[in-house]
Amino acid sequence: MHKRWRWVAAAGIALALAGCSANDSGEKSAAQPMSADGQAAPNQGAPNKENGDSAGKAGQQKAPVPVGQPGLADRKLVRTANLELTAPNVGDVISQVRVITQGAAGYTGQESTQEKRASVNVVVPSDRLDGVLDQLGKLGKQVKREVTATDVTEQMVDVDSRLATQRASVERIRALLARATSVSEIASVESELTSREAELESLQKRRESLAGSVAMSTISLQVKAETVAAKEESQSGFFGGLAGGWDAFLTFGGGLLTVIGAMAPFLLVFGIPAAALVWWLRKRRRSATPAMATASDLPSAPPLD
């Protein structure tokens, strides 16, 4: 009896072990897909060394710029500059400025030249701005150099988008005009077409203005004689303020004397007759006042009984 139970227990343990081994083999087969020829394919979930290296290199590369957004090289910048120089001869500097500007395919704009100071606006291509500034800075002692840049990329993109939309709108209105039959329809469509063409022309001019500002840069150049610059430096501090106040006082006094001198002819022509008339009226009033006082001082007649 005991032997029978032992055989039964041994058979149960053997069946349990067989079931466990079958489950393990099934799980391994499911985890490892089979190839087309029946062989097990390599584990695709395990990272490959070459794939890992390529993924790392790709991660180190710069992320691509989103579509529709301009890159750094495509930014539209309006660049301007201010330059101040001191030189012994202002006229010679201005002459050399014109030569440098023409050599850079630019031109000079507004200009004001005096004996000891001058100012001129120089317009050059934007890609030559830095080089021209370096050349101009060598014409004298550089006091100030300032360059500013304004990003107008978004404005350009907005104007281009509006231009495309407006052109399409104008074409649609022209198509409607071609299909119009009655006089009222033609008049209405022509009025709308004129309005939209005017807006299109305005957008085109704005686009051209922005493009011109991006393509060309303006340099505001100021040149002073060395003596003028030295004098301006010496006028700083307490004594400089005192001298400035004295000059202002003299200027005020000179202006006051100028006003008095300008009014003198009018005072002679109109002031003297007016003063004589006032004197005569006052004298007449004084002579009339005693006469009235004398008449009031006479004794009155006694009352009748």
pLDDT tens per residue across span 8-24? 455 554 554 444 444 44
pLDDT at 30: 42
The yes-or-no verdict on residue 287 having pLDDT over 90 is no
- More reliable by pLDDT, 262 or 206: 206
pLDDT at residue 163 greater than cutoff 50: yes
Task: Kindly report the average pLDDT of the chain as a whole number.
Answer: 76
CB atoms within 10 A of CB 59: 8
pLDDT at 117 over 50: yes
| pLDDT at residue 252 greater than cutoff 70 | yes
Is the pTM of the predicted complex or chain greater than 0.75? Answer: no
> CA 93 → CA 98, 139, 201, 222, distances in Å?
9, 6, 42, 10
What integer pLDDT is reported at residue 70 of this predicted model? 54
Residue 78 pLDDT level (bands cut at 50, 70, 90): very high
135 or 71, greater pLDDT: 135
**pLDDT band at 239; cut points 50, 70, 90:** low
The torsion angles phi and psi of 180, rounded to 5 degrees, stand at -70, 145
